[in-house]
Amino acid sequence: MRLENKVALITGGSSGIGKAAALLFAQEGAQVVIADVDVAGGEALVEVIGHQGGQATFVKADVSQAKDCADMISAAEQTFGKLDILFNNAGIMDSQDDTAETTTESTWDRTMDINVKGVWLGCKYGIPALRRAGGGSIINVASFVAKLGAATAQIAYTTSKGAVLSMTRELAVIHARENIRVNALCPGPLRTELLMKFLNTEAKKQRRLVHIPMGRFGEAEEIAKAALFLASDDSSFMTGAELLIDGGITAAYVTPE
Catalytic residues, which ones?
Answer: 157
Q: What DSSP string runs through 145-158? A: GGTS--SS--HHHH
Answer for the pair 145, 154: CB distance below 8 angstroms, yes or no.
Answer: yes
Distance CA 88, CA 176 (A): 18
Tell me the residue type at 182: V
The 3-state secondary structure of 117-140, one letter per residue: HHHHHHHHHHHHHHHHCCCEEEEE
Distance CA 225, CA 100 (A): 35
CA 106 distance to own-chain centroid: 23
Q: Angle at the Cα of 231 (from 229 to 235), degrees rounded to 5?
A: 55
Distance CA 66, CA 52 (A): 33
Residue 92 Cα distances to 62, 112, 155, 228, angstroms? 12, 9, 13, 22
Q: What DSSP element (H or E) covers 14? A: none
